[in-house]
């Protein structure tokens, strides 16, 4: 482990082979952090890490499927062996449950019609996967002088915003899968922040905005780099930074 890596820290980003996750990894690497690219697909993860290294980054890939505890544990062991600690965990990996369809247009998630198998699959990744990864990485995070956990969420997680019949999200189709999974992620975020506050671990949720990615069939208006900006802000927050909050580019988001 180099002195530079020790000074600037180590970050793990799940789902980092594309989209917001990759843009987040790129920005953290630009800030001098060693970046671990978590990806379900080994080839795609290695390609992303290689591209980062070509840009001068200290980057490596680990196979990490958030729904497979064995791969998560192996990834933790690899990070331990390589660095001995983890400074930043970005829980970015997530699914809509509707294939290449935006969750805003997912008619198959309407509560009265939804297939419970879809709901379970979405929660398995978006909620239970975050718990699995966070718990596996906690020992490494506790070795960091500045541990940070950022859970990538969505504005649709906000009950305040989505329950307003005259609000900006009134046009969203009702969902029993994606939107509730992100609301549950908010609750999990708050509980981790409450537990880990005494250890100096700052835990926050972020909504990167409507970003042009696979998850919405590239209909988003922001670039992945623009979406990643708020993620990186929370991942690199100082000791006086917030914990247990929900933030977007516009600032705090109501629960």
**Average pLDDT of span 97-117:** 80
Q: What is the pLDDT of residue 107?
A: 85
Residue 136: closest CA among 46, 12, 22: 12
Domains recognised in the chain with CATH numbers: 3-252 (3.40.50.720)
List, for residues 24-33, the tens digit of each pLDDT value: 999 999 999 9
* Residue 117 reports pLDDT greater than 70: yes
pLDDT at 5: 43
pLDDT band with cut points at 50, 70 and 90 for residue 214: low
Q: What does the pLDDT read at residue 168?
A: 84
The DSSP secondary structure of 61-100, one letter per residue, reads EEE--TT-HHHHHHHHHHHHHHHS--SEEEE-----SSSS
Active site residue 192: no
Kindly state the percentage of the chain with pLDDT values over 90.
Answer: 80
Options 26, 123, 129, 178, the catalytic residue: 178
């Amino acid at each position: 482990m180099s002195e530079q890596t020790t000074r600037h820290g180590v970050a793990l980003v799940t789902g980092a082979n594309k989209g917001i996750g990759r843009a987040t990894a790129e920005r953290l690497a630009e800030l001098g952090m060693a970046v671990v690219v978590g990806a379900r697909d080994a080839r795609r993860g290695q390609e992303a890490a290689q591209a980062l290294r070509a840009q001068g980054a200290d980057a490596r890939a680990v196979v990490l499927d958030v729904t497979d505890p064995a791969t998560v544990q192996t990834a933790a062991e690899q990070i331990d062996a390589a660095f001995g600690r983890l400074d930043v965990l970005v829980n970015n990996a997530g699914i809509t449950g509707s294939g290449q369809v935006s969750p805003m247009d997912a008619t198959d998630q309407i509560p009265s019609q939804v297939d419970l198998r879809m709901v379970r699959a979405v929660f398995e990744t978006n909620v239970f996967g975050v718990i699995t990864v966070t718990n596996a990485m906690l020992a490494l995070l506790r070795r960091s002088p500045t541990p940070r956990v950022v859970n990538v969420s969505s504005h649709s997680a906000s009950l305040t915003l989505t329950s307003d019949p005259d609000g900006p999200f009134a046009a969203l189709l009702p969902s029993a899968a994606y939107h509730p999974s992100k609301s549950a992620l908010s609750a999990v975020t708050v509980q981790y922040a409450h537990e880990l506050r005494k250890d100096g671990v700052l835990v926050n949720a972020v909504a990167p905005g409507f970003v042009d990615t696979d998850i919405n069939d590239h209909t988003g208006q922001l670039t992945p780099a623009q979406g990643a900006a708020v993620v990186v802000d929370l991942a690199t927050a100082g000791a006086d930074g917030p914990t247990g909050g929900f933030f977007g580019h516009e600032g705090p988001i109501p629960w």
